[in-house]
Amino acid sequence: MFAVLLVVGVIVGVAYVYHEIVVKGKSCTSKVKLHGKTVIVTGSNTGIGKTTAIDLAKRGARVILACRSKQRGEAALEEVKRESGSSQVVFMQMDLGSLKSVRSFAETFLKTEPRLDILINNAGIYMQGRTADGLGMMFGVNHIGHFLLTNLLLERLKDCGPSRVVNVASTAHNFGKIDFDSLNSHKALGVGTSFYETLKVYSDSKLCNVLFTHELAKRLQGTMVTCYSLHPGAINSELARNASSWFQLVLKLITVFFFKNTVQGAQTTLHCALQEAIEPLSGRYFSNCTVREAYAKAKDDATAKKLWELSERLCGLA
């Protein structure tokens, strides 16, 4: 009996240590205040985006919640205001799956808001399909929408420097690759709809985020704008709300113990947005509030440049 209790005790102890150290991870330690600063957070009506917005609003920032759903966005607006105690929070509708919507958002923002100090490209989707412009859904929303938004707002970011662009990617990018033949033929990273194919396209879209950041940093050299990509950790959020019911069931069983909550999951985003003296690390990839060495494919100059030029053509910037 003693041996059984000892084994159970060891298992529980190891599990606790794993959860405390690996799952919860590090926290953003910056005490920076943001009074007089303006921040955009895409996809901030739910998950780590909303938690990020609350933290930034608490620091005194004027926070723009850029979300697709008017109903969910307005509900999040009231929650962010209530949780942060700030009235400097604004909801502005934007659908990253529509280039017209992204352009309309940027035009309205530039007309009504004099500053932009931090742009957090947080929104992400996990589902196959097509955007309003005929692009693969995950390629269009996770990459192209943010690519266009960032480029449309770059001059304002430069005018307000030092400023930052933060791209929320994923460790899944390590399993991705950019299939330029598929992009040229189908305007999608892949067209299959099986579990494996959908996961692969998601990973590909996250690789796009990291490559975009790599190339953006090169193009921003000599300006006062820096950029960073990151893995927030495995998050207990609504990312998989469009996945199959069996996948969501399996995910729920796993998330209870192995996934971060949204406060823990927002920490690396906040670190990249706020941490002092990380400007020399512009273009780099972060995880657990720490800069990481990305795989060669995630910082390949030729691939990053080719993706940038293709993205420009697809969203009408070229």
pLDDT, tens digit (0-9, with 9 covering 90-100), for 166-189: 999 999 999 999 999 999 999 999
Residue 169 contacts residue 231 (beta carbons within 8 Å) = yes
Q: What is the pLDDT of residues 6-19, one digit of tens each?
A: 654 544 444 444 44
Question: CATH number of the domain that 234 lies in?
Answer: 3.40.50.720
Say which of 16, 18, 202, 228 is annotated catalytic: 202
Model pLDDT, residue 234: 82
What range does the domain containing 268 cover?
A: 2-314
Is residue 295 annotated as part of the catalytic site, yes or no? no
Region 142-163: mean pLDDT is 98
Region 295-316: mean pLDDT is 98
Helices and strands in the chain, H and E counts? 12, 8
Model pLDDT, residue 176: 98
Count other C-beta atoms under 10 Å from residue 96's C-beta.
Answer: 27
Residue 204 contacts residue 182 (beta carbons within 8 Å) = no
Q: What is the pTM of this model?
A: 0.89
Indicate the pLDDT class of residue 318, thresholds 50, 70 and 90: confident
Count other C-beta atoms under 10 Å from residue 71's C-beta.
Answer: 9
Model pLDDT, residue 271: 98
pLDDT of 242 above 90: no
What is the tally of structural domains in the chain?
1
Region 227-235: mean pLDDT is 92
